[in-house]
A and B are shown apart, each in its own frame.
Chain A
Amino acid sequence: MQYLNILIQGSLLGGIYALFAIGLSLSFGIMRLVNIAHGDFIVLSGYVAMVVIQATGVDPFTSLVVVVPVMFGLGYALQRGMLNQTLSGGLLPPLLVTFGISIIIQNGLLQGFGAYDHRLQEGPIETASLHLPGGIDVGVYPLLVFAVAVLCIASLQFLFYGTRLGRAFRAVSDDPYTAELMGLDNRKLYALALGIAMVFTAIAGVLFGIRTIFDPAAGPIRLILAFEAVIIGGLGSMWGTLIGGMVLGIAQSVGAALDPTWQILAGHLAFLTLLILRPEGLFPRTRD
């Protein structure tokens, strides 16, 4: 029964990692953009939510009404105004530019808000739990986060395979040169893609800010977790990303059960093991 408990808690923990990874997976899948600043955008979303909450007094969930459009606009403008210019020169220029953005965000937040820890307060739901038969307690909040992750991935899946925009996204991902010849405006599509990626980043940032403290330097560790979830799941596969997040979460739970100091390390070790055994990930889709 203890094993089942570890499995359940780990899977639920994986929900937040999958949420971290969606934006990264999306921008890599569509425009081969490796966004080094992704973790910092997650943290930035937390700060934007904090400002909205302080200014209006709403709760973190409600603050998403503002945070999501703000981050969408930021992503759209960033891609349109800056990152589109870096895409023709191979993989390195966008890597360097987003690395620079990462430094700017971290130092900007430090300058604006100081090095203190912050947390978003959502109230009783944070500590509520469900008692399952067999003595297993499941936190309502981790369950909610997991459900949101599944919902986000399902809606993205619908966007990609059920809409005209999604068809255009898949076409530019396959072959940007031919897509343009068929009348697609790649630059606009890329801007929309980073905007949409930022919507999920905003959701991840706020949900995570309720769960754990964050500070200006918290981005890079989020980025690594997101990378690991994407790579384990297989590049370009959204459901794979969810599984990747769950693998990480379960590995961390197992590690923590053995020894609490092992939690983070166990996740990384699981990632490295899978990278050796199955470098293409569990469910690869993207081809190059």
Chain B
Amino acid sequence: MTLLQTHNLSAFYGDFQALFGVDVTIEQGETVAVIGANGAGKTTFLRTVAGALAAAPEAVLFDGKPIGNMTPHEIVRLGIAMVPEGRRLFPSLSVEENLLLGSHSERRGPWSLQRVYELFPRLRELRRLPAPSLSGGQQQMAAVGRALMSNPRLLLCDELSLGLAPVVIRDIYACLGAITAEGTTVVLVEQDINRALDASSRFYCLQEGHLALTAPTKDFDRAALTAAYFGL
């Protein structure tokens, strides 16, 4: 079953066009990577799906429903959650308050404070601390936990590996299995291509706002990906 579909999706920052007619189809339960060089439009793609950037209503279909012109909080209520680039925890809230804030959309489902603490046991020990006092990896765990607290059907992860040590990145990616096991569909936006391809079953490669290549991660032409990535 198709969970998310974009059709001829274009996005603008003022007069600057960042996405040009991007068509993406994501099935329920899949983990899909969106890769591309800096400025390819990966983050713009996520922001448009999450409603932070407006699009034509029919350009984004979630569960068959047009959501292109909805506000972000309406979209969260439908079941799309975002782990923003750079984590963006709320600095004046404690770790636990940050997690609880994710539950303000009041969606029911498998994820609760208890379950998030089981997934990331370190967070339970740190729960009373202000969010900025955590290490980068711990903050990333809290940001993932905060998004899970809204019990999303679709989880958008923007640069999970950004600024983190390889061993920390590995730990965080190891938790993705527990998330997808609940039936959650995941979109990974990454600059760390190998990491993203390892964790996903299909990928889309964006280049300067255009869709350049899509293929299953098990079977694709490296040369074609290099060409799509760098625009050679």
Which of A58-66, A168-176, A223-231 is found at the contact surface with chain B? A168-176
1/0 contact string of A166-206 vs chain B (CB within 8 Å): 01101101110111111111100000000000000000000
Are A173's CB and B104's CB within 8 A?
no
**Interface size classification for chain A:** 20 to 34
Contact of B90 among A170, A183, A185, A186 (CB under 8 A): A170
Are A175's CB and B90's CB within 8 A?
yes
| Bound Cα distance A7, B2 (Å) | 71
Total A-B residue pairs with C-beta atoms closer than 8 Å? 64
Q: For A170, A175, A178, A183, which residue has the most chain B Cβ atoms within 10 angstroms?
A: A183
Q: For B82, B100, B104, which residue has the most chain A Cβ atoms within 10 angstroms?
A: B104
Are B102's CB and A182's CB within 8 A?
yes
Are B105's CB and A183's CB within 8 A?
yes
| Bound Cα distance A276, B73 (Å) | 43
Are B93's CB and A180's CB within 8 A?
no
Residues of A close to B104: CB separation below 8 A:
164, 168, 182-184
1/0 contact string of B141-154 vs chain A (CB within 8 Å): 00000110010000
- Assuming the A-B contacts A174-B92, A174-B93, A175-B88, are A180 and B71 also in contact, with contact meaning beta carbons closer than 8 angstroms in the complex? yes
Are B77's CB and A167's CB within 8 A?
no
| Bound Cα distance A64, B202 (Å) | 63
Judged by a CB distance under 8 angstroms, whether B50 is at the interface is yes
Considering the complex, give the chain A residue whose CB is closest to the CB of B47. Answer: A181
Are B101's CB and A181's CB within 8 A?
no
Residues of B close to A287: CB separation below 8 A:
91
Minimum C-beta distance from A266 to chain B (A): 35
Task: Tell me the residues in window 96-136 of chain B with beta carbons closer than 8 Å to chain A beta carbons.
Answer: 97, 100-102, 104-105
- Assuming the A-B contacts A167-B100, A168-B101, are A181 and B90 also in contact, with contact meaning beta carbons closer than 8 angstroms in the complex? no
Residues of A close to B81: CB separation below 8 A:
182
Minimum C-beta distance from B67 to chain A (A): 14
Minimum C-beta distance from B117 to chain A (A): 18
Judged by a CB distance under 8 angstroms, whether B193 is at the interface is no
Residues of A close to B84: CB separation below 8 A:
178, 181
Considering the complex, give the chain B residue whose CB is closest to the CB of A168. Answer: B104
| 14 A-B residue pairs with CB within 8 Å | A168-B101, A170-B93, A170-B97, A175-B88, A179-B90, A180-B73, A182-B76, A182-B81, A182-B102, A182-B105, A183-B73, A183-B102, A183-B150, A186-B73
On B, residues with C-beta under 8 Å from A are 50, 52, 71-73, 76-77, 81-82, 84, 88, 90-93, 97, 100-102, 104-105, 146-147, 150
